Structure 1
């Protein structure tokens, strides 16, 4: 049996935690977590649901599924409770779908570190397709057509297209036009679309809109979401999926529930109480989510500017809380110091300048590329008090603790590119 290792983002997070425990000062931007305090009413909902100690339905109780259905319906995706499933995070739902859906997998390159390993764990082949220059999260349409044709000519059967809107790792989202082109290809080539929209509620420009593939090809799109990113509940593990209102959609949902019944049984009752409250979207939840988004947008923009100043090409972030700089313009300078690919870029940036990021190779990108993902959400403070202050500050960039971390980043990158020694 082949040796397996834990996901690279989790491994890096554990490494940084160990080094910090040993006394190291590290700017940790390698883990995709929203480092913000828990919204107090969610603790109240969790406590109120603490007596829900029965297993209950595998899909989740009717009330929470109805709340999730309302959430999707308000986003132009009419949904009934019967077409939703709750789970301990969106990751197990994705894994269950890999088990029950036939065919190989088409992925944007780069894309989130978990998509490809999940597919390989169930014996599927993964085909990476480059993303468009202007944004991430979706494959370039022309390259997608070419990849499908080559895969089928080689005897493979690509049937699943995974999209991430907005995406991890580039922190951008695709235009309606691009989504439309991809949906046309999916329909013509008989692809099933898994639309991972866990960052959907973190769009940086107020009033910005995102078109879901489920609006355009509802009969062949399954949508996934969760609360780990938009409300900083990663450790609470709350995810949900929306299935098509068709005979096929019901069959896939039933198959996912069969897998769920043997793995996680159901989402924990207290977490269902939280999800029911959040997905109903009362005004206070919307206000808190909007406050999170304002902070994410401000800090991501500042980090983007630092990357560009350091000599990198970088897409301006428009959603989520990541930037994905490319240091190809300074390859010659970096090569003279042994930095020739994403692995050495990640490793030496940490070893020499105490900056933790995740290299491009982990995302299915070209391992020779001088790119990495930086999670800007890790810069809000080291204490709950600092993070709360950042969340509600009129100008979070003026706060001393955030300003200091941005200066730490800028100074470290300047020395890294310029050839100065470590700290």
Structure 2
């Protein structure tokens, strides 16, 4: 059957993240820093709302776009948190995780041959989803000397007459980099000048450790050309509930809903009831988790710097992206040898694009004791290679 497969599917590589996760899952006494999943249980009051909906028999289909109450609460949340105004009836779509929202946006907007600018290192789904939609992905390598932020000059250098969309993946997975208001204002100038659509993935918007997150949609002239992707997995520790959403101009959200209608029908009803409770009453839970991540972040930064590996300070998400160039190993070699010698799983930087060579991604969404053990083991691995 192999020769019957789609050529597009055949050339897409499997995720570099899952490779190491699959190995470590069968390795006794191993510590994984590989998967970007909160170690907190979904807060009880959120779980309870999902359970209650099942007990009441609320297991029917919802509107394709999602329950009106949930969409309305999301719009209230975006207003009070990020000063964003969206109509819950026409400009909001509930998706199966943020990942479905990314895929829908590409499929609703892309024609064959359109170019999509994708800064890397970044989340593994952007490039294959753009490619599957018929786009030509154009990679913008981000630089550690810029703290992995995207600059106006970098975007200008890669724009052509075929460019339709810019992916803006901040706060960033895997680097933890953020974009401040002045950074976004500079990018907005380029987007407006070249009439670009911006796909802004803001799934880590609640997890910043300096200034509060700013959405590019809040910059003058950008609301009408920005699709925001967000969700509940990271901030509310609701990964398995598969709850995401997209907001943007109705001219784009409508077609995205149409594709979602045929492919998905609606997101799980139980998850939608839980999500209503999360967005209405989950602020204290989010703050508690954010403070815990911040403490772990500081421990990890100090640990890597003490062992002699350069590591810029990430101000978003829950990842570190230290340089391992001092060891003389490639990212893949480092991750593979570390796993087998010290039983610690990290992700090679190259899993997030070629510009990730020389780096590894470490998630600190794990218990503090495991993080301290992992740092000790990584230090034992690194010391003889850089002394």
The TM-score with structure 2 as length reference comes to 0.90
Aligned length: 367
Q: How does 1:30-49 map to 2 (within 5 A)?
A: 30-49=34-53
Which residue is equivalent to 2:255?
255
Q: Which residue of 2 aligns with 1:119?
A: 130
Shift of 1:130: 2.7
Q: 1:124-139 alignment to 2 at 5 Å?
A: 124-131=135-142, 133-136=145-148, 138-139=149-150
Residue 375, structure 1, aligned to residue 372, structure 2? no
Instruction: Please name the residue that 2:199 is paired with.
Output: 194
* Distance (whole Å) between structure 2 residues aligned to residue 14 and residue 255 of structure 1: 37
Task: Provide the residue aligned with 1:346 in structure 2.
Answer: 335
What residue in structure 2 maps to residue 67 of structure 1? 73
Residue 159 of structure 2 aligns to a residue whose secondary structure is helix
Q: 1:144 to 1:4 in 2, by over 3 A?
A: closer
From 375, 380, 384, give the equivalent of 1:415. Answer: 380
Contact (CA 8 Å) 1:228, 1:235: kept in 2 or not? Answer: yes
Q: Name structure 2 gaps, 5 residues minimum.
A: 1-6
8 Å contact from structure 1 (residues 12, 31) kept in 2: no
Structure 2 residue aligned with 1:171: 176
Per the TM alignment, residue 406 of structure 1 is displaced from its structure 2 partner at its CA by: 3.8
Distance 1:164 1:18, change over 3 A: same
Q: Which moved more, 1:180-189 or 1:53-62?
A: 53-62
Superposed CA deviations along residues 290-344 of structure 1, whole A, max 9, x for unmatched, are 000000111011111111112222121212110000122x1xxx33xxx2x2111
The residue number in structure 2 matching 1:11 is: 19
Is the contact made by 1:111 and 1:167 (CA closer than 8 Å) also made in structure 2?
yes
Normalising by structure 1, report the TM-score: 0.83
Listed as ranges, the gaps of 5+ residues in structure 1 are 245-249, 381-401
State the Cα distance separating 1:3 from its structure 2 match.
5.7
Task: Give the deviation of 1:36 after TM superposition.
Answer: 0.7
- Matching of residues 218-237 of structure 1 within 5 Å: 218-237=223-242
Question: Is contact 2:364-2:371 (8 Å) kept?
Answer: no
Say whether the 8 Å CA contact 1:301–1:317 is kept in structure 2: no
1:272, CA displacement in angstroms? Answer: 1.2
SS in 2 for 1:36: coil
Q: Does 1:317 align with 2:314?
A: yes
Q: 1:88 aligns with which of 86, 93, 96?
A: 96
Q: 1:5 to 1:81 in 2, by over 3 A?
A: same
1:104 and 1:159 in contact (8 A); partners too:
yes
Match of 1:209 among 191, 212, 232: 212
